[in-house]
Structure 1
Amino acid sequence: MPTIALLVISNLFMTIAWYWHLKGGMEKPILLVILISWGIALVEYCFAVPANRIGFAGGWTPGQLKIAQEAIALIIFGGFMVWVLGEPLHWRHFAAFACIMAAVGFLFVGR
């Protein structure tokens, strides 16, 4: 469970680092946006690296860690897309989510 919690926190920071400037930050110079995003990403790495080390030490394979991270990223980005960027969800988003969840199932089945 610490692995999942750390990956969730990591992905919150990752999503903010990559997309914060799309809503209200487009007038900022790109170099400033990059530097701010790097600062946010540093915090993201402080959660992602321990999440992966703890997960790997707990018996997760690198593939399981990556696909879990992708599934979490999709969930978090979906929320960010709707609540921060004001984008509507479409059936395509749910279909993509189902594909990622199927990938999670494939990698974790039999474990």
Structure 2
Amino acid sequence: MHATWTTIGLLTLSNVFMTFAWYAHLKELGGKPWIIAALISWGVAFFEYLLQVPANRIGYTVMSLGQLKILQEVITLTVFVPFAVFYMKEPLKLDYLWAGLCMLGAVYFMFRDKIGA
């Protein structure tokens, strides 16, 4: 269970970095040339990879590749929604809820062998 929680923690932190790398430049660097935004985003993404690579290596000791991917997608949505609402000032929509429910279905199908055990 330790490997699972370590994976979840590292993937959550890595997703915070990646969300900022992918989207914060839209707010912060909107008037700058895209190459500036890309270079800054690559710098931020470097820290994401320092967390994501060990997370996947640790997680792969206790989960399948498909389970790791679905876990990462759930964490991505969990990080993205607060980022979109609070940082980017996007409206909170029911679509986030529906997407989350679809992700719960994906989690069920990918982890049902562990749930039943």
For normalisation by structure 1, the TM-score amounts to 0.95
Would you say 1:84 and 2:87 are equivalent positions?
yes
The answer for the alignment partner of 1:48 in structure 2 is: 52
Q: Percent of counterpart pairs with the same letter?
A: 48
Would you say 1:74 and 2:74 are equivalent positions?
no
TM-superposed CA distance for 1:110, in Å, is 2.1
Structure 2 counterpart SS, 1:60? coil
RMSD between superposed Cα atoms in Å: 0.8
TM-superposed CA distance for 1:78, in Å, is 0.3
The gaps in structure 1 that reach 5 residues or longer are none
The answer for the alignment partner of 2:32 in structure 1 is: 28
The CA distance in 2 between the partners of 1:21 and 1:39, in whole Å, is 12
Structure 1 counterpart SS, 2:28? coil
Deviating above 4 A after TM superposition, structure 1's stretches of 4 or more consecutive aligned residues are: none
The gaps in structure 2 that reach 5 residues or longer are none
TM-superposed CA distance for 1:46, in Å, is 0.5
CA offsets 1:49-79 (integer angstroms, 9 cap, x no match)? 000000112x200000000000000011000
TM-superposed CA distance for 1:88, in Å, is 1.1
How many residues are paired up? 110
The answer for the alignment partner of 2:63 in structure 1 is: 60
For normalisation by structure 2, the TM-score amounts to 0.91
Which of 79, 99, 104 matches 1:101? Answer: 104
